[in-house]
C-alpha cells in the first residue's frame, strides 16, 4: 500500500482495507500508542474490524471465496481466515464498540494479534512492501483508495 495501491488483483481496494485492518490488529505497539492513547486519525478496534469484514463478509464466509479477486492464493486466504476467526471471537465475547483496553486485555488477544500479524506479513510481502512500516492513518488509506 506504499505510494500506489497494488492493482494486480481486481478488488484491490478491498485488499487495501483488509491489509489496513490486519496491520493495525497485528501491531501491539500501534495498539498501545494509538488505540489505548486515543490518538486521532486511526480509528479504533471496531473500525479495524469493520474494514476487515465490511465489504468482504469475512464474518459470514471464508476468504477462500475471494482467491483471485482480493487474495492471490489459498495460503493468503487461510491466513486471513485464521485472523478473522480469532479477532471476531473476541469481539463477540467483549462486545462491539467496547473500549480498546477491553480487547487488548482479553486473554485471547495475543493469539489474535499473532494471527493478524501472520496474515499481514504474508499479504504485505506478497505485495512487495515492508510489513514493519507503521500503519497508515485512515486519511492516508482514503487517499490511496481514491487513486486510479
> In the structure grid, which three cell numbers stand for residue 140, read together?
492516508
Three-class DSSP labels, 23-92: HHHCCHHHHHHHHHCCCCCCCCHHHHHHHHHCCCCCCCCCHHHHECCCECCHHHHHHHHHHHHHHHHHHH
Cα 20 from Cα 139, distance rounded (Å): 12
Cα 96 from Cα 118, distance rounded (Å): 24
Per-residue pLDDT reduced to its tens digit, 34-64? 999 999 999 999 999 999 998 899 999 999 9
pLDDT at 116 over 70: yes
Per-residue pLDDT reduced to its tens digit, 90-114? 999 999 889 999 999 999 999 999 9
pLDDT for the residue 57: 95
Cα 52 from Cα 58, distance rounded (Å): 7
pTM: predicted TM-score of the whole model, two decimal places: 0.93
Per-residue pLDDT reduced to its tens digit, 3-34? 445 678 999 999 999 999 999 999 999 999 99
pLDDT for the residue 4: 44
Burial 55-69 (b: 16+ CB within 10 A, else e): ebebbeeebeebbee
Cα 91 from Cα 46, distance rounded (Å): 8
> In the structure grid, which three cell numbers stand for residue 83, read together?
485472523
Amino acid at each position: 500500500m506504499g505510494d500506489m495501491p497494488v492493482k494486480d488483483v481486481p478488488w484491490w481496494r478491498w485488499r487495501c482495507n483488509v491489509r489496513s485492518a490486519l496491520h493495525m490488529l497485528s501491531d501491539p505497539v500501534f495498539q498501545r500508542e494509538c488505540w489505548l492513547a486515543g490518538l486521532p486519525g486511526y480509528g479504533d478496534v471496531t473500525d479495524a474490524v469493520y474494514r476487515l469484514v465490511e465489504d468482504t463478509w469475512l464474518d459470514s464466509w471464508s476468504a477462500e471465496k475471494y482467491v483471485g479477486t482480493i487474495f492471490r492464493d489459498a495460503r493468503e486466504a487461510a491466513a486471513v481466515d485464521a485472523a478473522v476467526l480469532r479477532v471476531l471471537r473476541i469481539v463477540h465475547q467483549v462486545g462491539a464498540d467496547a473500549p480498546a483496553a477491553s480487547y487488548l486485555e482479553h486473554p485471547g488477544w495475543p493469539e489474535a494479534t499473532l494471527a493478524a500479524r501472520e496474515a499481514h506479513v504474508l499479504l504485505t510481502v506478497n505485495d512487495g512492501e515492508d510489513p514493519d512500516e507503521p500503519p497508515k492513518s485512515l486519511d492516508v488509506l482514503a487517499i490511496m483508495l481514491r487513486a486510479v
